[in-house]
Amino acid sequence: EPVESFDYVIFGATGDLTMRKLLPALYRRFAEGQITADSRIVGTARSPLDDETYRERARKALGEHVRADELIDATVNRFLRLVHYVSLNGAESTGNWDGLKTLLESNASADRVRVFYLATAPDLYGEIARNVSEQGLRSDTSRIVLEKPIGTDLDTARKVNENVGRYFPENSIFRIDHYLGKEAVQNIIALRFANPMLERMWDRESIDYVQITAAETVGLEGRGGYYDGSGALRDMIQNHLLQVLTVVAMERPESLDADALRDEKVRVLTSLKPLDRNNLRANVARGQYVQGTAGGKAVPAYREELPGETESNTETFVALKAEIDNDRWQGVPFYLRSGKRMPEKVTEVVVQFRAGEPGLFGEARPGSRLVIRVQPNESVTLPLFVKHPGNSFGLDEVDALSKLGQPERIRYRDSYEGLMLDAVKGSPALFVRKDETEAAWKWVTPILEGWSQDETGPDSYEAGTWGPESARELLQQAGHVWVEDI
């Protein structure tokens, strides 16, 4: 089913995100017949390029970031006909806005959907929104998509929201968190609420603790300028991991409507017990990698990867214990962690059920462990004990395993594919609402403040390991262990 014809205007069109994620996502949806041939994709950035030069860059990007078997020359050529380029600094009111306007008005009917996708530095969002609006480009069917990070703390996030909100109503603002575009994250909602058995066991009575890990093997990837001012807490925890947490922990929403869903997610965020400098040490571990081995080869320390500055205290790893102050979750730790230069690239949720009683089968039975693998190789596994065949009551552990769907035959869509078209359709369910971003920042900001007053800085960990010892100790206090140590 194609979506209605649209114009997609991308600010930051020569940047990394556009080349690596946005254009490939649009290409794939086009190749699947979801994008009509009269839709347009208009890249804007400061570089003075013409359409042809930009198309060649786009072609190269597709060559690098789309799997070879999905690249069909004729399809690529047809796709590139949709692509245009206008040289423009979106944050300045002078410049070729007329060119952009003329292009947008050239064949569009008045009510054609326009999506303005902001993939620039976030401090420009307010200005771009203002210019788009004051130059008369915004219509009733316009939407604006904001990439993360929205701000760097609660105050700056509020400012971004306020500045953009002056020109776009909230229901046309789509804050993207690409983790919500991941098939296996969306599946958590189905798993929890489509299986009454699990739904009944999804609380403190049955669940001992939860772990949410997003580990990466990469280091700085040449993004030092951005990353060093950010760190793992802002880059991953504030958005992606807290989003996964909300989906794992929320109450059953009244419906799957955008607001019903997001109301419940906000409730989780506002119920998080505050962490601040008084309880930081016991609940949060931060680390920075020193040299080690990754993927079989020696890699330098974070501080050596950084251009120039060597004394940085930016954390490349965070592990923390979050608690949700409500009836369902009182006393159940949610351990969140994310880091660069870990031993493997893996995102997963581990739900550890409580241990059983000793008796029939000897010692207390260990609690079952439900593992939701978000990437790579999406799956849900739940090992169960069954009787060993034969004359005794020995036990075997079997893996009740499910891949999601049929991954051998079906390629899961990249997280951006669905989300970019949701913005066209005007479906905000999988986007982050204003109060949601602000609630997440409200919880995260005191941690940042606590750190800034603590001169010890992050603990070191060797590249290619699971983070500093302090991350292990965080769980040991409660007799818990990270999944790789079990």
Q: Is 277 exposed, middle or buried (0-12, 13-18, 19+ CB in 10 A)?
A: middle
Rounded-to-integer distance, Cα 354 and Cα 406, Å: 31
Letter string b/e over residues 459-483, b meaning 16 or more CB atoms within 10 A of that residue's CB:
bebbbbbbbbebbbebbeeeebebe
- CB neighbour list of residue 117: distance below 8 Å, 6 or more residues apart: 8, 9, 10, 11, 22, 144, 145, 147, 420, 423
Residue 148 is labelled as binding a ligand:
yes
In whole angstroms, the minimum distance from the beta carbon of 216 to ligand BG6 comes to: 5
In whole angstroms, the minimum distance from the beta carbon of 211 to ligand BG6 comes to: 16
Task: Give me 305's structure tokens.
Answer: 């990867």
Whether the CB-CB separation of 201 and 285 falls below 8 Å is answered with: no
Query: Catalytic annotation on 388?
Result: no
Rounded-to-integer distance, Cα 119 and Cα 46, Å: 13
| Closer to ligand BG6 by Cβ: residue 347 or 352 | 347
Rounded-to-integer distance, Cα 194 and Cα 329, Å: 20
| Closer to ligand BG6 by Cβ: residue 213 or 347 | 347
In whole angstroms, the minimum distance from the beta carbon of 337 to ligand BG6 comes to: 14
Name residues contacting ligand BG6, limited to 339-398 (CB under 6 A): 347
Residue 21 is labelled as binding a ligand:
no
| Closer to ligand BG6 by Cβ: residue 283 or 347 | 347
Contact map string, positions 166 to 195, toward ligand BG6, x by CB under 6 A: ------------x-----------------
Residue 434 is labelled as binding a ligand:
no
Name residues contacting ligand BG6, limited to 5-24 (CB under 6 A): none
Whether the CB-CB separation of 384 and 368 falls below 8 Å is answered with: yes
In whole angstroms, the minimum distance from the beta carbon of 372 to ligand BG6 comes to: 15
| Closer to ligand BG6 by Cβ: residue 347 or 437 | 347
Residue 340 is labelled as binding a ligand:
yes
CA 335 from chain centre, in angstroms, equals 17
Rounded-to-integer distance, Cα 278 and Cα 315, Å: 20
Name residues contacting ligand BG6, limited to 196-225 (CB under 6 A): 216
- CB neighbour list of residue 442: distance below 8 Å, 6 or more residues apart: 154, 269, 270
Rounded-to-integer distance, Cα 143 and Cα 67, Å: 30
Q: Is 295 left (phi over 0), alpha (psi -120 to 50) or beta?
A: left
Residue nearest to ligand BG6 (CB): 235
| Closer to ligand BG6 by Cβ: residue 82 or 150 | 150
Residue 46 is labelled as binding a ligand:
yes
In whole angstroms, the minimum distance from the beta carbon of 251 to ligand BG6 comes to: 27
| Closer to ligand BG6 by Cβ: residue 283 or 338 | 338
Please name the residue that has the structure tokens 């929890």: 192
Rounded-to-integer distance, Cα 454 and Cα 276, Å: 12
| Closer to ligand BG6 by Cβ: residue 217 or 470 | 217
In whole angstroms, the minimum distance from the beta carbon of 222 to ligand BG6 comes to: 12
Peptide bond into 366 cis (omega under 30): no
Give me the amino acid identity at 203: D
| Closer to ligand BG6 by Cβ: residue 291 or 375 | 375
Whether the CB-CB separation of 97 and 128 falls below 8 Å is answered with: no
Whether the CB-CB separation of 216 and 232 falls below 8 Å is answered with: no
Considering CB under 6 A, how many residues would be counted as binding ligand BG6? 4
Q: Among residues 65, 240, 388, 480, which one is catalytic?
A: 240
Q: Is 150 exposed, middle or buried (0-12, 13-18, 19+ CB in 10 A)?
A: buried
Give me the amino acid identity at 423: A
Residue 235 contacts ligand BG6 per CB under 6 A: yes
Residues of the binding site for NADP(+): 46, 148
Q: Which residues are annotated as a binding site for substrate?
A: 178, 182, 216, 235, 340, 345
**Contact positions vs ligand BG6 (CB under 6 A):** 178, 216, 235, 347
- Active-site residues, by number, are 240
Annotated binding site: 46, 148, 178, 182, 216, 235, 340, 345
